[in-house]
Structure 1
Amino acid sequence: MQARVSDARAPGFWPLAIVFGLFVMFLYGPMLTIFVLSFQGPEGGLTFPLRGLSLHWFHALAAGLGTVDIAAAFRRSLLLGTVVMGFTVLLSLLAGLAFRKRLRGGDALFYVAIASLIMPSIIVSLGIGLQFRLVDTGVKAALSALGAEGTLEGYGSALGLLTSALGAHLTWTLPFGLLIMFAVFNRFDPSYEEAARDLGATPWQTFLHVVLPLIGPSVVGIGMFGFTLSWDEIARTSQAIGDVNTLPLELQGLTSTVTTPAIYALGTLTTVVSFLVMGVTAGLLAWLRKRQKRGRA
Structure 2
Amino acid sequence: MREGRPASFYWLAAFFGLFVLFLYGPMIAIFVLSFQGPTGGMTFPMNGVSLHWFGKLWSGGGIVDIKSAFWRSLQLGLMVMLITMVFSVLAGLAFRKRFKGQNLLFYVTIASLIVPSIVTSLGIALQFRLFDEAVKAYAPGFIAESYTTAMGIFTSGLGAHLTWALPFGLLIMFAIFNRFDGRLEEAARDLGATPWQTFRHVILPVILPSLIGVGLFGFTLSWDEIARSSQAIGEKNTLPLELQALTSTVTTPEIYALGTVTTGVSFLVIGLALAAILSLRARQARRGSDAGKGMV
Place the TM-score, normalised by the shorter chain, in its bin. over 0.9
Q: 1:106 to 1:10 in 2, by over 3 A?
A: farther
In 2, Cα distance between the equivalents of 1:168 and 1:35? 30
State the partner residue of 1:131: 127
Q: CA deviation at 1:295?
A: 1.9
Deviations 1:42-85 (A, max 9, x none): 11111111111000000110123557321111110011001000
Task: Give, in whole Å, the separation in 1 of the partners of 2:64 and 2:142.
Answer: 32
User: Displacement, 1:27?
Assistant: 1.3
Match for residue 81 of structure 1 among 59, 77, 84: 77
The aligned amino acid for 1:216 is: L
1:1-297 matched pairs, under 5 angstroms: 1=1, 4-5=2-3, 8-64=4-60, 66=62, 68-143=64-139, 148-296=140-288, 297=290
Instruction: Give me the whole-angstrom Cα distance separating, in 1, the residues matched to 2:64 and 2:233.
Output: 17
CA RMSD, aligned part only?
A: 1.2
Q: How many residues align?
A: 289
Unaligned runs of 5+ in 2: 291-296
Deviation at 1:105, TM superposition (A): 2.2
Extract unaligned runs of 5+ from structure 1. none
Q: Provide the C-alpha distance between the structure 1 equivalents of 2:63 and 2:47, rounded to a whole number of angstroms.
A: 27
The 3-state SS of whatever aligns with 1:237 is: coil
3-state SS in 1 of match to 2:229? helix
TM-score, normalization by structure 2: 0.95
What is the one-letter code of the residue matched to 2:213? G
Moved more, 72-81 or 279-288: 279-288
Q: What is the CA distance between 1:104 and its match in structure 2?
A: 2.3
Query: Once structures 1 and 2 are overlaid, which stretch shifts more, 282-291 or 28-37?
Result: 282-291
Query: How much has 1:40 moved relative to structure 2?
Result: 0.7
In 2, distance between residues paired with 1:223 and 1:81?
A: 10
Structure 1 residue 103: Cα displacement: 2.3
Alpha-carbon distance, 1:10 to partner: 3.5
Q: Residues 56 and 62 of structure 2 are in contact (CA less than 8 Å); yes or no, is this contact kept in structure 1? A: no
Q: Secondary structure at the match of 2:228?
A: helix
CA distance in 1, matches of 2:50, 2:64: 23
Q: Give the counterpart letter for 1:61 in structure 2.
A: L
**Structure 1 residue runs of 4 or more that deviate by more than 4 Å after TM superposition:** none
- More displaced stretch, 16-25 vs 261-270: 16-25
Q: 1:24 to 1:261 in 2, by over 3 A?
A: same
Amino acid at match of 1:119: V
Distance 1:11 1:99 in 2: 51
Using the alignment, how far apart are the partners of 1:68 and 1:187 within structure 2?
Answer: 47
Q: Distance in 1 between matches of 2:6 and 2:209?
A: 37
Cα distance in 2, alignment partners of residues 84 and 94 from structure 1: 15
Q: Deviations over 1:210-238 (max 9, x none)?
A: 00000000000000110011001000001
